[in-house]
Amino acid sequence: MIYQSEIALDKSLQTVLEDTFGTYAVVIDRHPSQLRSQEIGIVQSIGQGIARVVGLPHVQSEEIVRFTGGSLGLVFNLDPEEVGVILLDSSDTLQSGTEVRRTGKVLDVPVGDTLLGRVVDPLGRPLDGKGLVRTSQRRPAEREAPAIMDRAPVNVPLQTGVKAIDALIPIGRGQRELILGDRQTGKSGLALDTIINQKDKNILCIYCAIGQRSAAVAKLIADLYEHGAMAYTTVVMAAGEDPPGLRYVAPYTATAMAEYFMEQGRDVLIVYDDLTNHARAYRELSLLMRRPPGREAFPGDIFYIHSRLLERSTHLNAEHGGGSLTSLPILQTEAQNIAAYIPTNLISITDGQIYLSPILFQKGVLPAIEIGKSVSRVGGKTQLSAYRAVAGDLRLSYSQFEELESFSRFGTRLEESTRLTLERGRKVREILKQKQYAPMAAAVQIAVLLSVTAGLLDRVPISKIAIAEQAIAAAIPAQLADLCLQIEKGDVFAEEDREALLKVSETAIAKALEE
């Protein structure tokens, strides 16, 4: 019996193999092999982050090429005698004479939900030690921006949780708001607070670090983990020690990852930190490739490379899913010069700017936002009704206070009205201060700002303003939960709502000062 079963098994195996080879033969007959020519170039010279290649006569601009050993490059220059390639990997293993092969593909990156919570390089390769990023789709890094007719007006606010921004320089979903200032003034911290504030708001975040120190990015990622923000965030990192080619493509690949979510009808926030380093990387590559420099040694198309990047941030209309991509590009100025070449370029591309002053930073006014030089050209239309009712005149009165304060230093005698205006202004400035990693809900912001504009804090010493603010922040959600929900929804802010906020705030301030 055992012998017969073995014979039957052999016959069934033989039948399977015959069927398999028969199918294989049919497939080969249907698809006859064809000889194809493959272009193989030779590296002529290697520079700092670039390579000059000969022998690729049909290669196309922005095509990916592969060097022997697996290193990748991006075609940058097409000259009659040679091809200029920017390196996307280390050049340590490359030398003159290395073979280069065409791939016939443009630069693309993996996209999908599996990228959330991951730290990857600009090519989508993992940097967090959690294994490969497994996605089913890829998107080209360079894509045309959505057409004008595919866009919808920016009509929904993006709450940052920062009082000075949400009340005075509001941002809408689909807007491009530039954050600029000198180094070490809190630009990245402001963007980080905005990402943390999107928790439970159904907004996905992409943080693109361009040319930053690895230690600084590691600290930022640790802060995102600590505050539970990495669950909805992807970090795309091109460190300062990486090749300039990676720093150059980083914002484009990060935007491709964000566009995938936007086209699904979701809201996305992307932070570019920072575009000064991106411009420097592009300048470095251009000069190495012998492209003629223009103003301040930047090539003339520096405006174009940033505009084609930021134009991809928008709010799509309902026919295209209704998703939005909000961008917060960061820019570093030198010696407070916002009229330099790159800052003026980006200011003209974006829909407003938030300027961080080193003078305010040194005085301890944090976040160091200079209201007079900051503007939002779109977000005011999206602002919640309660903000418009409370903070409508706050920006103008605060700017007048700052001007009056500078003039009052020259006089010894002040009128009573002037003295009261200065005192109120100093308390507004104090109330606009906010610690990092402490985003504030919209209803609490409204109550705090209403308290100072309505005069509830006039008799409170400046040293106790923070105590009064904490009391208001604790009392409002506890006693006016329904009103808080109405404010968050954007319902009309009625007079009785205003009175209710003032009543609870006044009681909370009185109790706090008694203790």
405-448: per-residue pLDDT in tens?
877 776 667 777 788 888 888 999 999 999 999 999 999 999 99
Burial label, 220 (beta-carbon count in 10 A; 0-12, 13-18, 19+): buried
pLDDT at 5 over 60: no
pLDDT tens digits along 78-94? 999 999 999 999 888 89
pLDDT at 226 over 50: yes
Question: Does the bond joining 274 to the residue before it have cis omega, within 30 degrees of 0?
Answer: yes
The pair of structure tokens assigned to 514 is: 């008694």
What b/e readout covers 362-398, taking b as 16+ CB neighbours within 10 angstroms? eeebbbbbbbeebbbebbbebbbbbbebbbeebbeeb
Residue 219 CA: distances (Å) to CA of 59, 213, 329: 42, 10, 20
pLDDT number for residue 325: 98
pLDDT number for residue 7: 57
pLDDT number for residue 241: 92
pLDDT band of residue 275 (cuts 50, 70, 90) is very high
- Name residue 49's amino acid: G
pLDDT at 33 over 90: no
pLDDT number for residue 213: 94
377 labelled catalytic: yes
pLDDT number for residue 1: 47
pLDDT tens digits along 290-329? 998 988 899 989 999 999 999 999 999 999 999 999 999 9
pLDDT tens digits along 39-75? 899 999 999 899 999 999 999 999 999 999 899 999 9
From the candidates 143, 183, 213, 377, which is the catalytic residue? 377
pLDDT at 30 over 80: no
pLDDT number for residue 431: 92
Cα–Cα distance measured from residue 227 to residue 116, given in angstroms and rounded to the nearest whole number = 15
User: In degrees to the nearest 10, what's the CA dihedral of 359, 345, 49, 98?
Assistant: 170
Cβ-Cβ contacts under 8 Å for 142 (sequence gap 6 or more)? 62, 106, 107, 252
Average the pLDDT over each of 61-65, 149-153, 240-244, 412-416 and give the range with the smallest value.
412-416
Give the mean pLDDT of the chain: 91
